[in-house]
Amino acid sequence: MSTVKISDVAKAANVSSATVSRVLSNSDTVRPATREHVLAVMKKLNYQPNALAQQLRTQATKTVIVIVPDIRNLLFHEVINGIEAEAASSGYQVLLADMHGQPSVESYYVSAVQRRQVDGILSMSANMTQKLLNQIAGEYPIVMALQGFDSPSIPFVSIDNAAAARTMTAHLVKLGHRKIAHITGSAPLPYQERLNSYRAVLEENGIPYSPALVGCGEASIRGGYEQMKAMLERGEDFTAVFAAGDTMAIGAIQALQEAGRRVPQDCAVAGFDDIELSSVLSPKLTTIRQPTFQIGQQSFKMLLSLMKKEPVPNTHVLLPHELVIRDSCGYWL
């Protein structure tokens, strides 16, 4: 094995070590004459790049970053399982980036893609703005999972969030509810779509929309609890709650029960996502089921095609959702 190092090549070629590294990574910032000179010195010294240098030269790390808004939310776990299953079958590693609700973390990992430290990025974060994605999506492989932007330059795999929210709101109306509260997250996507559908279904059924019956906060059990408790303390009148996420629905049920209101006898509660806890709660949660494992699989397949510069016939993939009826809404009034 050669003991010649990059610093030895740099010294013999009378260039910096950084220039040698750029030659190894095939950077277009090196002048052709300089590149040829450095390569000739490498050959003369019998320099053998190590595995990392070879990887840099091909600009392939066989690693992708998956950005998750908050790993504590069980919704993301099954999506990650789908991503990891597909990645492993293709020889890729997955690096998880948990944002903890801090958008600056996203910017850091997007920068990692731009520096070619990873080959691509999969984001499940609603906080990554469309502007930021548009800045890099044309040059670097990026796919969104669980949500989508109305932009041809941003590929995504999701369900139709607007249609799914319409399904759930219409279900509550069909059960006879006329005073339906809504608890949602503060991120613009996908919660705004779900809120818009909730409002539209109410208006279509002649039910006045009341801003006082809409709570907005952290998309978590604590957030749902706090929003529900605030409504109860204000004395708002409602017979049903549509939470835009199962974690928020769980928090809402806790607040209702603490206030002495029975679910579903006194107040129906519906969620969105069908996380694992939804089927073991008491009462079991009526919710919208997302095909999370399949979303993970298909989003990685799409990203892999982009990383290989292969054509992707459909970059906006919407998978079917399902209304899962359980005990938390009752079955009639």
Instruction: Output the pLDDT for position 26.
Output: 67
Q: Are 301 and 64 in contact (CB under 8 A)?
A: no
May I ask the CATH class of domain 6-58?
Answer: mainly alpha
Specify the range with the lowest mean pLDDT, choosing from 117-121, 195-199, 271-275, 286-290: 117-121
Check whether 106 has a pLDDT greater than 70. Answer: no
Structure tokens at 280: 């073991």
pLDDT tens per residue, range 23-39: 876 666 788 899 889 88
Q: Are 243 and 271 in contact (CB under 8 A)?
A: yes
How sure is the predictor about 86, in pLDDT bands with cuts at 50, 70 and 90?
Answer: very high
Question: CB atoms < 10 A from the CB of 160, how many?
Answer: 17
May I ask the CATH class of domain 63-159+291-319?
Answer: alpha beta
User: Residue 155 phi/psi, 5° resolution?
Assistant: -70, 150
Domain boundaries, the chain: 6-58, 63-159+291-319, 161-290+323-329
pLDDT tens per residue, range 163-210: 999 999 999 999 999 999 999 998 777 899 999 999 999 999 999 999
Check whether 277 has a pLDDT greater than 60. Answer: yes
Check whether 133 has a pLDDT greater than 90. Answer: no
The domain defined by 161-290+323-329 carries CATH number 3.40.50.2300: yes
Bridge partners of 287, per DSSP, are 324
How sure is the predictor about 270, in pLDDT bands with cuts at 50, 70 and 90?
Answer: very high
Q: Greater confidence, 170 or 18? A: 170
Instruction: Output the pLDDT for position 135.
Output: 63
DSSP tag of 127: T
Instruction: Output the pLDDT for position 49.
Output: 65
Check whether 117 has a pLDDT greater than 90. Answer: no
Give the whole-angstrom CA distance, residue 287 versus residue 320: 14
Radius of gyration of the chain from its Cα atoms, rounded to whole angstroms: 25
Q: What is the mean pLDDT of the chain?
A: 87
Question: CB atoms < 10 A from the CB of 48, how many?
Answer: 12
Exposure string of 229-249, with b = 16+ CB inside 10 Å and e = fewer, is bebbeeeeebbbbbbbbbbbb
Helices (H), the chain: 6-13, 17-24, 32-45, 51-58, 75-89, 103-114, 130-136, 161-174, 191-204, 221-234, 246-258, 292-307
Torsion sign (Cα): 305, 138, 51, 108: negative
306-313 average pLDDT score: 89
Check whether 160 has a pLDDT greater than 90. Answer: yes
The fraction of the chain above a pLDDT of 70, given in percent, is 84
Indicate if 161-290+323-329 has the same CATH topology as 63-159+291-319.
yes
CA dihedral 276→279→281→286, nearest 10 degrees, is 110
Matching residue, tokens 């006879």: 176
Give the whole-angstrom CA distance, residue 105 versus residue 111: 10
Instruction: Output the pLDDT for position 304.
Output: 95
pLDDT tens per residue, range 69-82: 888 888 999 999 99
pLDDT tens per residue, range 219-268: 999 999 999 999 999 999 999 999 999 999 999 999 999 999 999 999 99
Strands of the sheet with 214-217, listed across from one edge: 214-217, 180-185, 240-243, 268-270
Q: Which of 145, 153, 5 is nearest to 65 (CA)?
A: 145
Q: Are strands 287-289 and 322-324 parallel, antiparallel or unpaired?
A: antiparallel
Torsion sign (Cα): 190, 183, 71, 132: positive
Check whether 113 has a pLDDT greater than 70. Answer: no
